[in-house]
Chain A
Amino acid sequence: MQISGAQMVIEALIAEGVDTVFGYPGGAIMNVYDEIYKQDKFQHILTRHEQAAVHAAEGYSKASGKVGVAMITSGPGFTNAVTGLADAYMDSIPLVVISGQVPMSLIGTDAFQEIDAVGISRSCTKHNYLVTDAADLPRILKEAFYIAASGRPGPVHVDIPKDVTAQIAEFDYSKPVHLETYKPHTKGNPRQIKKAIEAIANAKRPLFYLGGGVINANAAYEVRDLVHKTGIPAVETFMARGTLSYDDDLLVGMLGMHGSYAANMAASETDLIISLGARFDDRVTGKLSEFAKNAGVVHVDIDPASISKLVHADYPIVGDVKNVVNEMLAMVDKIDAGKYESWRETIHNFNELHPLTYHEDSDRLKPQWVIERVGQLIGDDANISTDVGQHQMWTAQFYPFTRPRQFISSGGLGTMGFGFPAAMGVKAADKERVSVNFTGDGSILMNCQELMTAVEKKLPVINIILNNNFLGMVRQWQTLFYDKRHSETDLSVQPDFVKLAEAFGGIGYRVRTKEEFDAALKDAVEKNVVAFIEVIVERFENVLPMVPAGGSLFNMMLLEKKESK
């Protein structure tokens, strides 16, 4: 069929089963938006900033497991979207981001709203394309979706000049993708898997180290099975929260800079660390030479470049975590779960010694209480997004996650302003559950314009603003490492968050007590509208435990012991 480039974009999105596109129109992408107007197969959600469009697509993708789609115009439209691309790249989120470009004849002339988009996105995408001929569009779009979702997932950027969207060419989407140079390894080497199983069976203190790859690979339930059948304790990275349910006896907790004492000690004392879809990030390992120092390493990852990147792998297995875990499950009878009883006991004692907790020793609410309380009141019925900072770490520590894809947060890039738009994307993907965004008084102001999108499109995100009048995480570092010189982190001057929400047609609450919080949350859930719940919390609360940057995991700053919780 002979159609225009713009029509091809629409046809390709429909063929890929896309039901939601997040975007923002502009000059160079207008031909495509004209075709969006004429179709009714997918919804378009107009965000109020291009960065938010990409974050919303990320949230949508994380919650649904599908490829997220965002559409933007050239120049500033594209540069605004770059943070989202970089965020998705760092957290391996499959996206297809389509941008308009100035017409081919104007490329390189400093035309209005022209920027070398593929030049910029090259280093923050899995792959990118500049389309120079509409005849290539069907192949390129099909490849883009395939590349985004396969192997180690990631964002793919397709830049389409305006004249290409007007060109007429043949559209045939049935040809299978053929990429001679791109063939991801999904099946682990059986011999290596067998060796790994033998190593596990021989280990005295093995430890599962679960990363975000488990969730990307939809392997959480297989991993739960493996953990339970082997009786081997597991630690989760920030990105893997929800792989095991919070109340699982074998879940030691989150490890890393703000990991629990038990998790960090387990990682320090283990003699075999079994890494599934994790990448030994510096926020996880602390001082690398001290990380799991006496342990052998089994490293399962879809990305060969991640294996032995930072820590030498004794048993490297390149493959899809789900496939590899299934292979391991078939050999699980070689492992005697009873053997690790004393190791489990050791870890249990670590937890008894320094449980993850906080003190209610302030007139103001403690942020950790707020997070735990949401867990008690909504729990499994909520999808949880966060922004970046102290509230993000407290959420990872204290929210009772019960399932994979429940926790959506910017882990690798640490993008403030991620939470609200991502939570809109989550809501668009999962209408049934409550979409909660834990945020701070710093983060929420980056992308608070999305109140308008959420109100217009009826995406009732409940934003819980843990307000300590500080850029809390930077303030914490300044307190601890910069002799309390709180340089530019005091946010005493603030908008009225209640009025701000109301100005956009949302609903706002300001709460100072437990009773007020319960009432506000209940009301927001019942009214099912976009909400800001501003919670006035203790200003100087620190995220603990903490491994200072570059320190060893076993050297944690811990919460001082007190009798009362």
Chain B
Amino acid sequence: MNNENARRVISVVVVNEASVLSRVTDLFSGRGYNITSLTVAPIPDTEYSRLTIVTSGSVRVMEQITKQLNKLIPVLRVYEHEDMVEKEMAMVKFPITENLSDINALCEAYNGKIVNVGDNVVITMVADEPKRIDNYLNAIKRYNPKEIVRSGAVALER
């Protein structure tokens, strides 16, 4: 965790209200830090939402950012994940003319399957650790993927 620009995953629990997302992301952009991925969704049966932010940066700046996050009025909690279960989803559109059984087998290896079949394309969905999603997206290159979308990671501390 001590190397500069290491990958970091931060979860932030915030009051579900207008402008809270800007407040959070401003702390990154104001320091010239890029956000690799960001997911937001309401936490069921509460007035809160949970953000999962994947970014990279030095320990010192990250410490500053998490302290500043804690300082924001609508922030309830900040988790700097160290020991976590992390998952991400990816959907890919393939031409229907590709080898569908190969594609399906690959998807299964990454906790996924074909989820939609149209006249010209099929859509697959996989859900796995971000690193493994990278591997999957590498592996499917030969099947001429037409469109790829990643969800960004979500994480829970063990």
Contacts and interface: CB of A to CB of B under 8 A. Distances in A.
Given A305-B68, A309-B64, A122 B19 contact: yes
A304 B19 contact: no
B22 interface: yes
B22 A122 contact: yes
B112 interface: no
Contacts of A304: 67, 70-71
Nearest to A180: B76
Interface residues of B, number: 18
A304 B26 CA distance: 19
A78 B49 CA distance: 31
Nearest to B71: A305
Contact of B73 (A118, A123, A179, A309): A179
B22 A182 contact: no
A108 interface: no
Nearest to B27: A123
B73 A147 contact: yes
B140 interface: no
A130 interface: yes
A181 B75 contact: yes
Interface in B1-38: 14-15, 18-19, 22-23, 26, 30
A55 to B, nearest CB: 24
Contacts of B18: 130
Nearest to B67: A305
A118 B23 CA distance: 11
A126 B73 CA distance: 8
B25 to A, nearest CB: 10
A305 B66 CA distance: 9
Interface in A124-162: 126-127, 130, 147
B70 A305 contact: yes
A303 B64 contact: no
A181 B22 contact: no
Nearest to A182: B73
Contacts of A495: none
A130 B70 contact: no
Interface in B71-89: 71, 73-76
B74 A181 contact: yes
B19 A118 contact: yes
Contacts of A179: 73
A289 to B, nearest CB: 14
| B18, B64, B71, B76, most chain A CB atoms within 10 A | B71
Contacts of B22: 119, 122
Given A123-B30, A304-B67, A305-B64, A130 B74 contact: no
Nearest to A156: B73
A482 to B, nearest CB: 28
A90 to B, nearest CB: 14
Contacts of A126: 73
Interface string A199-233: 00000000000000000000000000000000000
A130 B67 contact: no
A118 B22 CA distance: 11
- Residue among A147, A180, A181, A305 with max Cβ neighbours from chain B (10 Å): A181
A281 to B, nearest CB: 15
Contacts of A182: 73
Contacts of B71: 303-305
Contacts of B23: 122
Nearest to A127: B73
B27 to A, nearest CB: 9
Contacts of B64: 305, 309
Contact of A181 (B15, B26, B67, B68): B15
A122 B30 CA distance: 11
Contacts of B67: 304-305, 309
Contacts of A122: 19, 22-23, 26
Contacts of B74: 181
Contacts of B15: 180-181
A147 B74 CA distance: 12
Contacts of B75: 181
Nearest to B64: A309
Interface of A: 118-119, 122-123, 126-127, 130, 147, 179-182, 303-305, 308-309
21 contacts: A118-B19, A119-B22, A122-B22, A122-B23, A123-B26, A126-B73, A127-B73, A130-B19, A147-B73, A179-B73, A180-B76, A181-B14, A181-B15, A182-B73, A303-B71, A304-B70, A304-B71, A305-B67, A305-B68, A305-B70, A309-B64
Closest 7 CB pairs of A and B: A305-B67, A181-B76, A127-B73, A182-B73, A305-B71, A305-B68, A181-B74
